[in-house]
Structure 1
């Protein structure tokens, strides 16, 4: 049962329409009028700006939901619209015949789809309230989109596809759809994750349009020509075809599936992705060479986290720093934005407040932030004073508690050891290296701002949000949590390690030649 599920593959999987009955229960939906632009738009941000302004001055009261690909686009458009507040105030003083917006500096046109159906509404709608919403936004700021719009104002909600199905915002009468979304893809051959801005699917566009008709008749303004809609893919690719498969592979092995590659999944992942997952699990000792789950693999499968994080947790017993690794793994597994950056911090590419930064890297900065927040008498006040996301830290604390219980119950750990505090965190770095040995990178000898991963030979730079990004010279060797590709390839969540530790801690993978400094 789902509002957005593409039912056809399930019908076919369970025997076809001759054997399976599909019951479609349509949801309540008011009439929605859809408009397209008369010609393609060269810049969707510029087009979205003009569309918001024209809609505001030409339509009756009602809130606007604008779909954008990602956080950067939302932050950029929010700044532009805030600067346009003065322009709106001036336009309000003009006569209805004068209330027409000229072309902007970027060349975006005046939309015929709005102008031809316009009537002056400045007597009813005064100003605008801009409310962003995206997954990384702190919870208290996300809640602002649900607050009632004050009389005489129009709420402009700038959202990613989180507002397609995850939430319903009351008061929305107008939807502006740029036709783009961010999609995380994993290269099945290399395992590198890519965050790409791609066209939405027809199903996604229809879901966005439906937001305008939840409470009353609405209007949808698509910032692309109608022919482009018919060229879009019918459905967004399911996540199992786009994600890294190590967790799925190990879970299926733990369930007793002997040959995962032949398992009849509804949507079959690429063969390369399954082979890559098996190779990774073999490297960390979770599978033997006969593709059989080992005793180590069975232990790792007990943990509801990525196998690499579970492997690092198991390694922490050897280094007697399980308490610290539990905190780091919980922070990494929460997949939340812990550090709330200001505009000034973003301009300087600084994501972590200085008081919480650890000179050795991001894993220890996360550990430092969590430890200080947890020990403080008033954690909420501490989070506010240090630009921390209190709700995200609470989520990490819940995950940590669950992992700690599992470590004690499933793995039989009688006590959770600690290395004794920040003065001994070199032990934590050594544990991270041995636990994340598959995710190590060495600084390039020629281009000192680039790194090459030691096992997969991928070239990448340190992510600008890393506390090590501005270190000169950059660290000779690092461990990282993610290798992602946007416009460039970046190592995210990075911590410095000593190259001499490589052959000492992982002699089966790293020879003595790697100990020479970069």
Structure 2
């Protein structure tokens, strides 16, 4: 165990040296307080509490590199509390994902012998579990960013801990610049000091230290367990199938109660893997019982928490996850990791103005993070279903999200916070200037900012910023007032914000499609979803009805909660909630007013192209419009696999686009009429 201050080099990964951290427990599996105390006292960071507290008290900014297993995420906020930093304000601890924020809040609340929402609370999108007693607040980075929009100086906080900084989400990158600016303004105005602690298991420490005015770097070593890494002998044509084979082989040879973590790209791949593993398990003899659980960001909270439950004796748990399990949360009893080497990431193309989800290779840094999941509690193994040569060809680090996504939300947030010159904002890594210009142009077309050299936030833009949504969706809600259909538009946006509602299992696919037929709307997927939700409310959210109609009840319940909170925001914005009844034209007009940049028309050769940029796109096979050829459509999402697919499609009239943004489409008349 070491403790040293340095401005040193990057941490290097080693194949056999990976790290361990205290296991998080779910709400239903709390440990006795004495046992929690013993676990805390065994952590490397706990033994150095006095020295760490001294550094935190004496310095405005620290960069803390705490190896996995050091206990930094759960203990450092408590050190801040015990040092008196919460006497008049709170300590904020940001996390990239909601499941991490909620799990960590529960763990720390248990350690502090309180209930979540008292001394320790959390805030995630559409859910706030805090009170006037709260001293330590775990929250997603997006939630702290939203607070900065209403309180530019973050007066509620004495310390902001930016955890998992290496993940470089777009919200985290914006927060780096904001808290740095707030810290400076508070100092100039002689307001209470804002302390900043940047924490990670691994990152480019020199880069972060320079950005935060040569802040000292504290390196804290954790407890290490060896992990053996295995590579595929030859390149795999289907990494997902190779992952399935690896899990089955492990299950047949490894002793019971040695759990497996599998990394895949998204919900569809995960659900297919879960089903296949459950089917395979029925046919295997001489093996222990297999418990297969999915894990991804949009999974309902109750299901997310199931992965933390202890594995029953004589069984094996297999968790099939996206990159949500790479960092932030510790999954107990993981002995084996199976890494597909793939991730689904957002990608923005400034030349076309299109943002899409694309499956791509992970970076070496991500590969090592995944490997480390197998060494948390004992020696483990990682099976990479790619060759060593493929690993060495991977980029060393993951490109920051802010350099590969649309910046319209970022620009709107910065303008709302009071940053007038978005292009010259103090980013840790500056995004492409063209991407910033595209974002400002989109906000101008949406009516959120004024034109000119120094764009100003308009009243419409300020109202849009009140909604925790993409600016396009926020504008659609505001436009619904003029068309008398706010209730329908809010419902559709809530459904699009939740996960997949319509279930089409491989076994029973035809029955599912037949059950869904009663909801299908000729106008497209968005109106179909509206029909589903109306029927769901009519039967009083009956679970059995959902099962009979192949609908995901938990996702519908989640959408209903999002809808409820969006309607509350409408009330706060004094936006009357009216309904257009069975007429869908007002609804589609309102959606076109916000999503006009996500429109495509049918060309003469029979395929769809995006309006203005003329990118060839296709209606996704899951769409109710897949077999039709509508003249003009909106889409909520663009996904690239072998082709560029539009998802959540809705038919519109091309003239509505010109009504929505005449400045953007008067020069595109030829494209709209091709």
2:429 is paired with a residue of what secondary structure? coil
Q: What is residue 430 of structure 1 aligned with on the other side?
A: 589
**Where do 1:256-405 residues align within 5 Å?**
256-290=418-452, 291-332=455-496, 334-344=497-507, 353-405=516-568
Q: Distance in 1 between matches of 2:514 and 2:163?
A: 37
1:443 to 590, 598, 602: 602
Equivalent residue number for residue 223 of structure 1: 385
Q: 1:29 to 1:506 in 2, by over 3 A?
A: same
**What is aligned with 1:489?**
644
1:11 aligns with 2:191: no
1:29 is displaced (CA, Å) by: 4.3
Question: Higher strand fraction: Structure 1 or Structure 2?
Answer: 2
Paired residues, number: 472
Retained in 2: the 8 A contact 1:139–1:391? no
Distance 1:23 1:339, change over 3 A: farther
Mapped partners of 2:535, 2:439: distance in 1: 36
The whole-number CA distance in structure 2 between the counterparts of 1:392 and 1:26 is: 41
Q: Are residues 382 and 143 of structure 1, via their aligned partners in 2, closer, same or farther at CA, if it must alter by over 3 Å?
A: farther
Judging changes above 3 Å, is the alpha-carbon distance between structure 1 residues 27 and 324 closer, same or farther for their aligned structure 2 residues?
A: farther
Q: Tell me by how many angstroms 1:265 deviates.
A: 0.9
Task: Assess, with a 3 A threshold, how the Cα gap between structure 1 residues 168 and 372 changes in structure 2: closer, same or farther.
Answer: farther
Residues 361 and 394, structure 2, Cα contact 8 Å, conserved in 1: yes
In 2, are the aligned partners of 1:185 and 1:242 still within 8 Å (CA)?
Answer: yes
Equivalent pair of 1:136/1:336 in contact (CA under 8 Å):
yes
What is residue 407 of structure 1 aligned with on the other side? 570
Structure 2 match to 1:168: 330
Q: CA deviation at 1:248?
A: 0.6
- Number of the residue aligned with 1:104: none
Q: 2:373 aligns with which of 186, 203, 211?
A: 211
Moved more, 188-197 or 140-149: 140-149
| In structure 2, C-alpha distance between the alignment counterparts of 1:57 and 1:235, rounded to whole Å | 35
Question: What residue in structure 1 maps to residue 625 of structure 2?
Answer: 468
1:416 matched to which residue of 2? Answer: 577
1:488 Cα deviation after fit: 1.0
Query: How far, CA to CA, are the matches of 1:353 and 1:379 in structure 2?
Result: 16
Spell out the pairing of 1:48-197 with structure 2 (5 A cutoff): 48-61=243-256, 62-75=258-271, 77-78=273-274, 81=277, 84-85=280-281, 88-89=284-285, 92=286, 125-135=287-297, 145-165=307-327, 167-197=329-359
Q: Offset of 1:345 from its aligned partner?
A: 6.8
> For the structure 1 residues 408 and 441, does the alpha-carbon distance in structure 2 shift closer, same or farther, using more than 3 Å as the test?
same
| Mapped partners of 1:14, 1:224: distance in 2 | 38
For 1:450-461, list aligned pairs within 5 A: 450-461=607-618
Are the equivalent residues in 2 in contact too, given 1:502–1:515 (CA < 8 A)?
no
Matching residue of 2:176 = none
Q: Distance in 1 between matches of 2:636 and 2:289?
A: 44
CA-CA distance at 1:283 after TM superposition: 1.4
1:240 to 402, 405, 409: 402
> Deviation of residue 236 (structure 1)?
1.8
Residue 158 of structure 1: SS of its match in structure 2?
strand
Corresponding residue SS for 1:182:
strand
Does the 8 Å CA contact 2:612/2:671 hold for their aligned counterparts?
no
Cα offset, 1:342, TM superposition = 1.4
SS in 1 for 2:648: strand
Aligned equivalents of 2:385, 2:457: Cα separation in 1: 51
Q: 1:189 to 1:26 in 2, by over 3 A?
A: farther
Q: Indicate if the aligned counterparts of 1:503 and 1:512 stay in contact, CA closer than 8 A.
A: no
SS in 2 for 1:388: coil
- C-alpha distance in structure 2 between counterparts of 1:154 and 1:405, whole Å: 44
Aligned partner of residue 343 in structure 1, secondary structure? coil
Q: Distance in 2 between matches of 1:232 and 1:514?
A: 43
1:245, distance to aligned residue in structure 2 (A) = 0.4
Structure-1-length-normalised TM-score = 0.80
Q: Flag the 1:350–1:452 CA change in 2: closer, same or farther, 3 A.
A: farther
Deviation at 1:346, TM superposition (A): 6.1
Deviates more, 1:293-302 or 1:261-270: 293-302
The 1-side partners of 2:441 and 2:660 are apart by 21
Q: In structure 2, what is the Cα distance between the partners aligned to 1:437 and 1:222? A: 42
CA distance in 2, matches of 1:312, 1:226: 48
Unaligned runs of 5+ in 1: 93-124
- Alignment-derived partner of residue 225 in structure 2: 30
Assess, with a 3 A threshold, how the Cα gap between structure 1 residues 26 and 348 changes in structure 2: closer, same or farther. Answer: farther
- Decide whether aligned partners of structure 1 residues 386 and 165 sit closer, same or farther in structure 2, where only a CA change above 3 A counts: farther
Conserved? CA contact 2:448–2:461, under 8 Å = yes
Q: Structure 1's 226 and 389: CA in aligned 2 closer, same or farther, altered over 3 A?
A: same
Task: Judge conservation of contact 1:338–1:393 (CA < 8 Å) in 2.
Answer: yes
Q: Residues 307 and 503 of structure 1: is their aligned pair in 2 closer, same or farther, counting only changes over 3 Å? A: closer
Tell me by how many angstroms 1:87 deviates. Answer: 7.2
SS at 1:481's partner residue? strand
